[in-house]
Structure 1
Amino acid sequence: MKVVILGILFFASITVSAQQRAATFQAAAKSGLTVYLLNKQYSNALDNDSNKSVFKGNAQKKFYNAYVALLADMGTYLHANGFTWGKPIRVVHRIYFEGDGTIDHYLLNLDAAGMDAAKQARFLKLLNQFAANYKLRITADKKFAQCGPAIYQD
């Protein structure tokens, strides 16, 4: 009986971990999920060398609009769930997407954000909920990623 219960608890913990899409770069790296490894699996949505970009030509503007909509939708979600920043916060993030626009990983650096541990944990919890149910408004024929700074504010 104890073995069955431990097995169920072990499976449940794996399932919970697998559902975590948002994390700090540091926490993700501690669990073996590094930007280096992810970048081998995902192409750049936009790149200085347009030949390396997933989105080319007019699709670049469509991607940009979808990306801006994602950030706006995330802000709306946070606000609807009572989360406030209190002041503008500059964050660097890298978001990894499936070809269908599903968010696989939303990694960010919160070191300079100046949030206490409780606020950071609440933000990551809400960001995980948002990412689990969000689909970017553009698709591609392969996995892709986008990075950059953003200013999060109320």
Structure 2
Amino acid sequence: MYNPETYFSKEVLERVLQQYDWPEKYELIKSPPSSVIVRFSRCTVVFVEGFDSNMRAFFLNKDTGRNDMQGCLQVYDAVRALELTHHLTEADITLLEGAKSLPVFPSLEKVEQGLRNLCIHLQVYLLPCIQGNFDWVSEYNRQYPES
């Protein structure tokens, strides 16, 4: 059975998070088996290493106002919902240039770049969420009631 090595850790996430300016301090909490919780004062983001080192992150329902019958809101789902109406600044465009394609096979490089890509999208589209503003989620829930 194919069981690839994992590369994600609290320390790896901390190194990547330090590359960006966040609107407030955060606390990192290891959560078994393969996730790390980033707790801001008004928002929690959970980072998870999936199969073959594919990284994902999501917001907790208690922060977004979604109910327990709905899945937690994934960062990339949130970005897709917001990117059409978000006005990009020059700084945003420069930051987005750092989002890169990922290697195919599991590796530390793939984990680090996956984390950078997530952080870039959090920085460009979702900083208000980090500060507790999820006003847009009610419209998202109306458009995508099954997600």
Normalized against structure 1, the TM-score is what? Answer: 0.29
Greater helix fraction, Structure 1 or Structure 2: 1
Kindly name which structure, 1 or 2, has the bigger radius of gyration based on alpha carbons: 1
